[in-house]
Amino acid sequence: MSESLTTVPVKAVIVAGGFGTRLLPLTTNRPKHLLEVGGVPFLEHQISRLAAAGVAHVVVATSYRAELFEPVLGDGGRWGIRVDYVQEAAPLGTAGAIRNVAAALGDDPEGAVVVLNGDVLSGHDLPAQLRDFATPREGRPVDVSLHLVEVADARAFGCVPTDGSGRVTGFTEKSEQPVTNQVNAGCYVFRRRVVDAIPEGRVVSVERETFPALVREGALVVGYVENAYWRDVGTPTALVAASRDLVLGTATSPAVPAGDQRARIDDEAIVDVTARVDGGSVVARDATVGKAAVVTGSVLMPGAAVEAEAVIVDSVLGPRARVGRAVRLAGVTVGDDAVLDPGAVLEPGRRVDCGAVVAASGAPS
Ligand code: GDD
Ligand code: MG
């Protein structure tokens, strides 16, 4: 029999202090957690999903650009929950960040604490994971539950083998020779007392230190395997794909209307009637798309401008970036305020720094 989860309101921590290096230049001026995906700042997907799962109090553990979170996300009132922000003076690592907010997680040592990596768009059934966590195994309460998913290539993730009963038997972060394609999906449920056991006041990695030690010491760490929609949005390609999935309806989120649209165009964007915007693109407020331009599968952040006849495919334009007449982009990431002159030639995958000017020759000036 599972213990009741309704008696104690569940708390949650979102670890959101990373630098977002793999998303540069988009993260030059903001944390990746606030980049718009599907038309809203990314953390809105996670906070609204936590609220929908019955979580009453979310603590966002911040570091890089910490001051930007609260003005964008507020106190949680719009989701009917409480949202607090705790800033680390210097990044404490994923486990250090969780330990650092322990005081805000209630004082019931047997309580449940949900922890989310702040860059994962997941459609998994969090209430089902909480029920699984609340079901004792081998006559003892579960210490930690990890959502696990199967991926084609496990090398970029935490590799997490389990035994026949679902118990986690190891945890190897970013291994060149993964022993399984079952990986850490970045959503944990911690027994409150396990958080207290994390060393305080120093950098600790939950993936490299806490989980391997818990498994080694015989703690009851279990895998909750569910292959629902799942994507880590930590690269430009993944960010654009997640945004597209939300608009087209491949992914769902309580933060945005159900997607089955070709594109999501803000009321305060200006799109010429002869332009084509589709493939799950998002055009944010104050962005403009000129005559006969094509925008497909792409994200145009606030104030971005696409001039006439330009063709933007699977690309992301940062705030106020400007793409000149007839320029063609495929899989390109353009930083804030950058300017691509008419006649500029950019190879697929190129990243253009914030404020850079790419002249007609293709060379930055
Ligand atoms: N507060 C705080 N402080 N947050 C941090 C810190 C820190 O020092 N370091 C990282 N984070 C946050 C990041 O902002 C992000 O939300 C989360 O922790 C995970 O960091 P990433 O840098 O995105 O890690 P990853 O994507 O390489 O790997 C992680 O996620 C994979 C699933 O997407 C690991 O947890 C892997 O095991 C996992 O498979
Ligand atoms: Mg990540």
The pLDDT tens digits of the residues spanning 39-61 come to 999 999 999 999 999 999 999 99
Q: Is residue 20 within 6 Å of ligand 1 at its C-beta?
A: no
Which residue, among 215, 7, 12, has the nearest Cα to 101 in the 3D structure? 12
Q: Is residue 183 within 6 Å of ligand 1 at its C-beta?
A: yes
Mind listing the pLDDT tens digit for each residue in 181-211? 999 999 999 999 999 999 998 999 999 999 9
How many angstroms does the Cα of residue 234 sit away from the middle of ligand 2? Answer: 5
- Give the H or E element holding residue 146: strand 144-150
The answer to whether residue 277 scores a pLDDT higher than 70 is yes
Cα radius of gyration (the chain): 22
The whole-angstrom separation of Cα 148 and Cα 25 is 30
The CATH architecture that domain 3-232 belongs to is Alpha-Beta Complex (3.90)
The mean per-residue pLDDT over the stretch 162-178 comes to 95
For residue 325, give the 3-state DSSP assignment.
Answer: coil
How many angstroms does the Cα of residue 325 sit away from the middle of ligand 2? Answer: 35
Residue 286 CB contacts under 8 Å (≥ 6 apart), including other chains? 266, 268, 269, 302, 303
Mind listing the pLDDT tens digit for each residue in 241-261? 999 999 999 999 999 988 768
pTM of the predicted protein model: 0.95
Sequence spans of domains, the chain: 3-232, 262-358
What integer best gives the mean pLDDT of the chain? 95
Helical H segments across the chain, by residue range? 42-52, 69-73, 93-100, 126-133, 192-196, 211-216, 236-248
Task: Please report which confidence band the pLDDT of residue 361 belongs to, taking 50, 70 and 90 as the band edges.
Answer: confident
Best residue among 15, 122, 180, 215 to mutate for probing ligand 1's pocket (most ligand atoms within 8 Å of CB) is 15
Residue pair 38/242 in contact by the 8 Å Cβ criterion? yes
Ligand number nearest CA of 33 is 1
The whole-angstrom separation of Cα 92 and Cα 287 is 37
Atom of ligand 1 nearest to the CA of 173: 37
What pLDDT does 236 receive?
A: 97
What pLDDT does 108 receive?
A: 92
- CB count within 10 Å of CB 273 equals 5
Atom of ligand 1 nearest to the CA of 22: 22
Residue 70 CB contacts under 8 Å (≥ 6 apart), including other chains? 85
Atom of ligand 1 nearest to the CA of 97: 1
Percent residues over pLDDT 70 in the chain: 96
Q: Is residue 119 within 6 Å of ligand 1 at its C-beta?
A: yes
Ligand number nearest CA of 61 is 1
How many angstroms does the Cα of residue 206 sit away from the middle of ligand 1? Answer: 9
The whole-angstrom separation of Cα 43 and Cα 72 is 10
Q: Is residue 117 within 6 Å of ligand 1 at its C-beta?
A: yes
What pLDDT does 2 receive?
A: 46
Give the right CATH number for 262-358 from 2.30.130.10, 3.10.300.10, 2.160.10.10, 3.40.640.10.
2.160.10.10
The answer to whether residue 5 scores a pLDDT higher than 60 is no
Task: Please report which confidence band the pLDDT of residue 364 belongs to, taking 50, 70 and 90 as the band edges.
Answer: low
Q: Is residue 339 within 6 Å of ligand 1 at its C-beta?
A: no
Ligand number nearest CA of 17 is 1
- CB count within 10 Å of CB 299 equals 33
The whole-angstrom separation of Cα 280 and Cα 38 is 9
Mind listing the pLDDT tens digit for each residue in 123-140? 999 999 999 999 999 899
The answer to whether residue 9 scores a pLDDT higher than 90 is no
Q: Is residue 303 within 6 Å of ligand 1 at its C-beta?
A: no
Which protein residue's CA is at the shortest distance from atom 39 of ligand 1? 157
What phi, psi does 185 have (nearest 5°)?
-90, 0
Residue 27: exposed, middle, or buried by beta-carbon count in 10 A (0-12, 13-18, 19+)?
buried
The mean per-residue pLDDT over the stretch 140-156 comes to 97
Q: Is residue 95 within 6 Å of ligand 1 at its C-beta?
A: no
What pLDDT does 6 receive?
A: 46
Which protein residue's CA is at the shortest distance from atom 22 of ligand 1? 18
Percent residues over pLDDT 90 in the chain: 93
List the beta bridge partners of residue 122.
Answer: 230
For residue 275, give the 3-state DSSP assignment.
Answer: coil
How many angstroms does the Cα of residue 14 sit away from the middle of ligand 1? Answer: 10
- Distance between terminal CA atoms of the chain? 67
Domain 3-232 identical in fold to domain 262-358: no
How many angstroms does the Cα of residue 219 sit away from the middle of ligand 1? Answer: 23
How many angstroms does the Cα of residue 157 sit away from the middle of ligand 2? Answer: 9
Q: Where do we find the tokens 């079952």?
A: 182
